[in-house]
Amino acid sequence: MADPNDAMIPSSAAPLPTRAARTHLDMADLVRRAAFYQHRRDANALVDSMAQEITLAALLDVLIARGVVDEAELNDRIELVAPEIEKKRNSAWSGPQIFQPLHPDKPDIHIDCESRYGDCGGACCVHFNVQLTLDEIHSGNFQWDVGDPYRLERGPDGHCINLDLDTLRCRVWKDRPTVCRQYSCQTDSRVWTDFDLRVPSERTLVMVRHDRFRKGAGPQE
């Protein structure tokens, strides 16, 4: 995992608006900007804390093992303990996550979604949260959930807000986030039991039945 500081504090980050400009901002956008500022501060605090923890753990390790400390021994021990402590800290990080694609230039995955909506019910737009990239966050083109940064906002029924519930089509398909572009349900057993035969997973079937019942079609076998 990349250093949270690298992800949270881009060198090109736009400054917060001046008081005069705030009257022209949508309130939700202002809240998102304020939240981003707080998350940046939290990430800085985490990085500082991690550095202190690594140094302290290394010092204690040397003192216990040797009983004598010199600068060379301390530096060597820091190199030994740092990876493990960083791993533990990263696994414990519960703050906002930003999607950092391993292959940013990876071509879009093409699935004939429209022909499958009747079987899957747009499962990927219901089952999964979509994390945004740093560029997508700063673009202002996507509404992310202030209570669960930096994921696409979801409607009261749990669906992605960009999903048209009547047609099951994505309203921003041409400009959809990177996660959506690089995801394929073809090998995802959470969506399909058999992709080629169009057999949905049990989880997907439960969701589809619930949606049909909610729309007034009655329970389906």
pLDDT in tens, the chain (221 residues): 343 333 333 333 334 444 444 444 566 776 777 777 777 777 777 777 888 888 888 877 888 787 777 777 777 878 888 888 877 766 766 667 788 887 778 889 999 998 998 899 999 998 888 999 989 988 888 888 877 888 888 888 888 999 998 888 999 999 999 999 999 999 999 999 999 999 999 999 988 887 776 666 544 44
Residue 170, domain extent: 113-214
pLDDT for 172 equals 92
Number of alpha carbons in the 13 Å side-chain half-sphere of residue 63: 6
Does residue 121 share a domain with residue 64? no
Of the three residues 92, 121, 153, the one that is the final residue of a domain is 92
pTM flag (> 0.75) = no
The answer as to whether 97 is a domain residue is: no
Which residue type is seen at 79?
Answer: E
Of the three residues 27, 58, 92, the one that is the final residue of a domain is 92
The answer as to whether 137 is a domain residue is: yes
The answer as to whether 157 is a domain residue is: yes
- C-alpha separations of 134 from 9, 48, 128, 142, 175 in Å: 10, 22, 19, 11, 15
Query: Would you tell me how many other CB atoms lie within 10 Å of the CB of residue 145?
Result: 15
The answer as to whether 105 is a domain residue is: no
The answer as to whether 20 is a domain residue is: yes
The answer as to whether 166 is a domain residue is: yes
Does residue 134 share a domain with residue 81? no
Looking at the structure of the chain, the number of domains it has is 2
Is the sign of the CA dihedral 132, 133, 134, 139 positive or negative? negative
Q: Is the peptide bond before 150 cis (omega within 30 degrees of 0)?
A: yes
The answer as to whether 220 is a domain residue is: no
pLDDT for 194 equals 96
Q: Is the peptide bond before 117 cis (omega within 30 degrees of 0)?
A: no
pLDDT for 8 equals 31
- Of 81, 85, 6, the C-alpha closest to 49 is 85
